[in-house]
A = this chain, B = another copy of it.
Amino acid sequence: MSQSPIGTAKPDLDTPALCLDIEAVEANIKRMADLFRDGPVRLRPHAKTHKSPILAQMQLAAGAIGITCAKLGEAEVLAAAGIKDILIANQITGAGKIARLVNLAGYTAVMVAVDDATNVAELDTAAQAKGVRLRVLVELNIGMERCGVLPGEPALALAQRVAASPGLRLEGVMGYEGHTVFIQDPQERREKTEASVELLVDTANLLRRHGIPVKIVSSGSTGTHLITGRYPGVTEIQAGSYITMDSQYRDEVGIDFAYGLTVLASVTSVPAPDRAFIDAGLKTLTRDFGLPKVIDPPGWDLTGLSEEHGHLHRAGGAPLRTGDKVEIVPNHGCTTINLHDEYHVLRQGVLEAVWPIAARGKVS
Task: Give A residues with C-beta under 8 Å from B.
Answer: 3-4, 14-17, 48, 70-71, 90-97, 100, 115-116, 118-119, 122, 141, 145-149, 178, 266-271, 275, 277, 279-280, 282-284, 286, 288, 306-309, 311, 321-323, 334-335, 338-341, 361, 363-364
Contact = CB atoms under 8 A, between A and B. Distances in A.
Contacts of A14: 94, 96-97, 364
Contact of A361 (B115, B275, B339): B339
Contacts of A3: 96, 100, 364
A122 B266 CA distance: 15
Give the one of A115, A270, A271 with max B CB within 10 A: A271
A129 to B, nearest CB: 17
* Interface core residue of A15, A93, A148, A277 (most chain B CB under 10 Å): A93
Contact of A283 (B100, B283, B338, B340): B338
Given A15-B94, A91-B269, A268-B147, A283 B335 contact: yes
Please give the count of copies of this chain that the complex contains: 2
A308 B240 CA distance: 14
Contacts of A363: 16, 279-280, 283-284, 339
Contacts of A71: 279, 308
A148 to B, nearest CB: 6
A311 B179 CA distance: 15
25 contacts: A14-B96, A15-B364, A16-B364, A70-B307, A71-B279, A93-B268, A93-B323, A94-B266, A115-B269, A116-B322, A118-B323, A119-B322, A122-B323, A146-B277, A147-B309, A148-B269, A279-B363, A279-B364, A282-B288, A282-B335, A283-B335, A283-B363, A288-B307, A339-B361, A339-B363
Contacts of A288: 282, 307
Looking at A279, A339, A363, the one whose CB has the most chain B CB atoms below 10 A away is: A363
A190 B240 CA distance: 49
Contacts of A178: 306
Nearest to A12: B96
Nearest to A340: B361
Contacts of A4: 96
3 nearest A-B pairs in the assembled complex, by CB-CB distance: A147-B269, A91-B268, A70-B308
Given A335-B307, A364-B15, A271 B322 contact: no
Nearest to A92: B268
